[in-house]
Structure 1
């Protein structure tokens, strides 16, 4: 949906025809967000770069109508008590470090943006889907009502024939003739309909059916870890993003508005099963134990000027009260169901082939310890829309590999770099070993006391600087 909104926003692509194939029942629901309900446990932490993208395509105004929570501070620390770091938006002259938004709010806002843009352009926008007089081809998506372009269905098969050797293609040819000449891909849907497209975008998640049908190979593995997510409540509003690295995996406490926060806790499958089944009081006690006094002591702030093994990093400079270690707000109540998701890493060896391109989790899934997965996907959407616009500007076929490779050349190195660094962090924090603990603590203290390094980390993690190597200190 973000790609569709971006295409509708760009002057060169707003005339294109787009059909969205998605069987998610939420796409057919209107006014499904009740502000009186507690926050949904499924949330995303969006970076300033993603916020800027959403503003550009006109979607952020709809998010602002619903619950969301900006945060301008975050604290990351190690269970050993040897190191911590605190980040403040002021360090890079920014107002916020990010915003936590419920996934259903993201969905609803993008859908509202699509519908509004469609009305403005009188239904002319919808990515180059072609229909013809074939009796089995649905033509309702050319209606000015954009909602009719959303197919509540699934793709069952995809066919693409080799291109004809003829240089030119008669624009008066039927859809079937264009498909026969290799100028269109053909999709069969689970409801019996057929669609023809110049370009098929696989944005259908980590278990992408489009990726499978197109024959893309992947590299990856499953972690022996699950993520437990839920919504919790405090006595006062939380305005900071917190993340503590524990022996089995990190636990993050993310503000979601009012007195609510979201928990994302990585642990082994046995622990996740126990956390899901234990009673509420015991679970709340376990969460507070993990965020506060469990596993080890609190890191020392050194605000009094005392000496420690890392005092050489800060020299004679005393840190301010805003930079001192703080204990996260205490959780008093569980405010949602607990959900458990297995974690894995997967990367498509190629992002593009003729008339098919992958974006988001269909191209790459990453460990959630840095909260970057959804932001990488939105960056993919932004980059692909620009490449399609470049193709339209010069009259290229938007399904040709030579054009789509520009998108892959931009996004693949950035995604691989982020995945590699996240993997290094995941492995480094899964080992409890004395010398390694000290090295990790040195990294935390360096990120905390060395101002240029801290500024670079914040800029890279917020998506506002392209990273030579990613620095995932950002939940």
Structure 2
């Protein structure tokens, strides 16, 4: 079947006498890079642009569908309703729905044995956990069905070996010897972005003294709730991924992550259950005041957010069904997102702590915003590589991204200090949030990507 996104790979052709010219070269064909290409494909004028995606990932050459009975991959993303709306707009969500994914409409956050929060929202406004490979496959399927320029393509290359800034384009030399021209280069090549480095864009940030261990686990019952517990060395999260499977994201010290990655499967399962439920004292109990406020809330009808709900025990993990992966955590932010004929999106522009699973949602928002800015520029007859146009995208996204980064970094620092008086104040604030309806609703609204500026800043 002839696909709109040409499956012929540039590097497989004979050597070209004249390098090909594209409107946009997307460096990095991961979730955010593909989402940006999808965003362009749905725009009235932008869909007519000639686009090339440069990535060495062989799965970009064809559509791969994953069977629901396969064990879930440990690399997952927690996508908000705002992200889901974008994926629906670009035609990718219908493909996600055909593959494995899991919504949850309840989240329980436990600080210690006396302070916890329960968030509940309507089923149709839930957050969804999706494997990264499913998101990539779905975005690629959408691209192959979209009416993009027939000369758009995918180039398989490990890196950029040459970069020349010309007056009306950038000349890119690929590591295999091929070359091409692009009016705009979009860096979506991750936290260690080569595009960002070549463009000379500086970053600020720091490394956390933490690493994250991720894996897929199985439990005896189906799970529809997300659990997060703050421990002395960092939070552990249990995220439903469908059926009796959940994803673990466990933040700890680098030494602990090495130990947990190498310990036996049985010992690791015991450690997970210990961290989620056992070993840290008795379960939180609802006081008389808690129960009174909960009942008053239910009678008065506080909307879809419960004011105070009883603590529930997380499901017992019975098996580890994937490899354990560990990676160091850091915060990085580019000093600018745009320069002439170069723009950054996703982790190339900002890398955040995985505390609330917001990293990929920020990237998808980048992709949506940039595609709209480019389409608006085309409507006005602008050069898509002009800095004045690209700075409109930067202004919009930098404000939102910095806000989220500040919130996540603040949470990370606040819960990394183990000090008696501070622990008491945190517990009190955590517990009190149960009963402040506007605050609690606002936290949920912000986590779902429904508003830019949280009231609790």
Common fold by TM > 0.5: yes
**Given the alignment of the two structures, is residue 59 of structure 1 paired with residue 92 of structure 2, yes or no?**
yes
Correspondence 1:222-301 to 2 at 5 A:
222-301=207-286
Instruction: Map 1:34-433; keep pairs closer than 5 Å.
Output: 34-78=67-111, 80-90=112-122, 95-117=124-146, 121=147, 123-124=148-149, 142=151, 149-161=153-165, 179=166, 182-302=167-287, 304-305=288-289, 314=293, 317=296, 323-433=309-419
- Unaligned residue ranges in structure 2 (runs of 5+): 1-33, 299-305
1:296 and 1:188 map into 2 onto residues whose CA distance is 60
Superposed CA RMSD: 2.0
Q: Distance between the aligned counterparts of 1:469 and 1:6, measured in 2?
A: 30
Post-superposition shift, 1:468?
Answer: 4.7
* Shift in CA distance, 245/58, structure 1 to aligned 2, threshold 3 Å: same
Name the residue aligned to 1:170. Answer: none
1:466 deviates by: 1.6
Q: Using the alignment, how far apart are the partners of 2:430 and 2:79 within structure 1? A: 23
Name the structure 1 match of 2:40.
7
Distance 1:318 1:8, change over 3 A: closer
Unmatched segments (≥5 aa) in structure 1: 126-141, 162-178
Q: Is the contact made by 1:461 and 1:470 (CA closer than 8 Å) also made in structure 2?
A: no
Contact 2:240 2:246 in 1 (8 A): yes
CA pair 434-269 structure 1, distance change in 2 beyond 3 A:
same
Q: Is the 8 A contact 2:439 2:456 kept in 1?
A: no
**Aligned CA distance change for structure 1 residues 470 and 153 (closer, same or farther; 3 Å):** farther
TM-score with structure 1 length normalisation?
A: 0.84
Deviations for 1:331-382, whole angstroms, at most 9, x for unmatched residues? 0011111111111111100100000000000000000011000000000001
Query: How many corresponding residue pairs?
Result: 417
Distance 1:322 1:25, change over 3 A: farther
Tell me which residue corresponds to 2:15: none
Match of 2:453 among 446, 467, 474: 467
Distance 1:315 1:373 in 2: 34
Cα contact 2:228–2:237 (8 A) shared by 1:
yes
C-alpha contact 1:158 1:185 (8 A) present in aligned 2: no
- Could you list the per-position Cα deviations for residues 386-408 of structure 1 after superposition, in whole angstroms to 9, with x for gaps in the alignment? 11011000000010010111001
- Distance in 2, Cα, partners of 1:184 & 1:296: 63
Higher strand share: 2
> How far apart, CA to CA, are the structure 2 residues paired with 1:444 and 1:395?
52
TM-superposed deviation, 1:158: 4.8
Within a 5 Å distance, the mapping from 1:418-457 to structure 2 comes to: 418-457=404-443
Q: 1:295 and 1:348 mapped to 2: Cα distance? A: 40
Describe the shift of the 1:427–1:114 C-alpha distance in structure 2 as closer, same or farther (beyond 3 A). same
Q: Do the aligned partners of residues 318 and 405 (structure 1) sit closer, same or farther apart at CA in structure 2, a change above 3 Å counting?
A: closer
Contact kept, 8 Å, 2:290 with 2:308, in 1: the verdict is no
Query: Would the alpha carbon gap of residues 194 and 321 (structure 1) be closer, same or farther in structure 2, given more than 3 Å must change?
Result: closer
- Aligned residue for 1:165? none
